[in-house]
Amino acid sequence: MRPEQVKQYLEFYRDLGIDILYRRDPIVVADSEQFADPTNAEIVTEPAPRAEVTVLPGISPGDDTLDTIRLDIGDCTRCRLSQGRTNIVFGSGNEQAKVVFVGEGPGADEDEQGLPFVGRAGQLLTQMIDNTAAKEGIPIQRGDVYICNVVKCRPPENRTPQPDEMEICGQFLYRQLVTIKPKAICALGATAMKALLNNREGITKSRGRWHKWRDLPVMVTYHPSYLLRQYNQTARREAWEDLKTLFHFVYD
């Protein structure tokens, strides 16, 4: 197995919360008769029995598709978020997109319609994608990208998802990204940034810079709901600059 494959496996299981590895130590054997005279005791070290080699499964099934992932989610009740949802919000857009936008979680409008980013924040995101691409001469619109969230069910009162909720849904998000194989990912807001990058920096320090998830470049920018809640010209301008950088990297 190549080193880069080992690295991918280890990073995948770390993201699932498995962070303990063990190795088998040698077995120490001594002749019981020699213990009568401890000064003459000879300690013999024998190699441990050869451990059985187990091949770790891939990051996702080799024939994984978005339809398969959606079927695997099913009528999910894996965490508490399922108790208050109306619809699972899986994702939407071009399944062969070169860019995937990852948000935090569904809001009320998304929960009702079963589609991501259809409320006010979604309308702003659509404008940001369409207008930025048009101004830069890049022939794409929202339908050409793929959009999904870290969690697939609406958190109560739109609260931030809890770590265990993000961990459970994270396995499906990771499979989505591996299946689509985009050229780059755009993390919208701090929750998406932390889920993908395990980044403890604030969003203002991380935005506008390239990061990596697996081997995929990640651009971090503000969540559209932040731009709506705390409107200021500087934050909006920065978000648009982030999209310009993202689109030129992907499509030029």
User: Tell me, what's the pLDDT at 148?
Assistant: 98
Q: What is the pLDDT of residues 201-250, one digit of tens each?
A: 899 999 999 999 999 999 999 999 999 976 678 999 999 999 999 999 99
Between 56-60, 82-86, 122-126, 183-187, the lowest mean confidence (pLDDT) is in 56-60
The least confident of 63-72, 160-169, 204-213, 229-238 is 229-238
pLDDT at 72: 96
Instruction: Note the pLDDT of residue 127.
Output: 97
Q: What is the pLDDT of residue 63?
A: 83
- Domain ranges for the chain: 3-46, 66-251
Average pLDDT, the chain: 83
pLDDT at 5 over 70: no
Mean pLDDT of 192-206: 92
pTM for the complete prediction? Answer: 0.77
pLDDT in tens, 9-56: 555 555 544 444 444 444 343 444 443 444 444 434 444 444 333 333
Burial (CB count <10 Å: 0-12, 13-18, 19+), residue 165: buried
Assess contact for 148 and 116: CB atoms under 8 A: yes
Res. 175: pLDDT tops 90: yes
Do residues 31 and 42 make contact, with C-beta atoms less than 8 angstroms apart? yes
Instruction: Give the DSSP letter string of the chain.
Output: --HHHHHHHHHHHHHTT------PPPEEEE-GGGGGSGGG--EEEEPPPPPPP-PPPPSS-TT--HHHHHHHHSS--SSGGGGS-SS----EE-TT-SEEEEES---HHHHHHT-SS-SHHHHHHHHHHHHHHHHTT----GGGSEEEESSSSPPGGGPPPPHHHHHHHHHHHHHHHHHH--SEEEEESHHHHHHHH---S-HHHHTTSEEEETTEEEEEE--HHHHHHT--HHHHHHHHHHHHHHHHHHH-
pLDDT in tens, 100-130: 999 999 999 999 999 999 999 999 999 999 9
Architecture of domain 66-251: 3-Layer(aba) Sandwich (3.40)
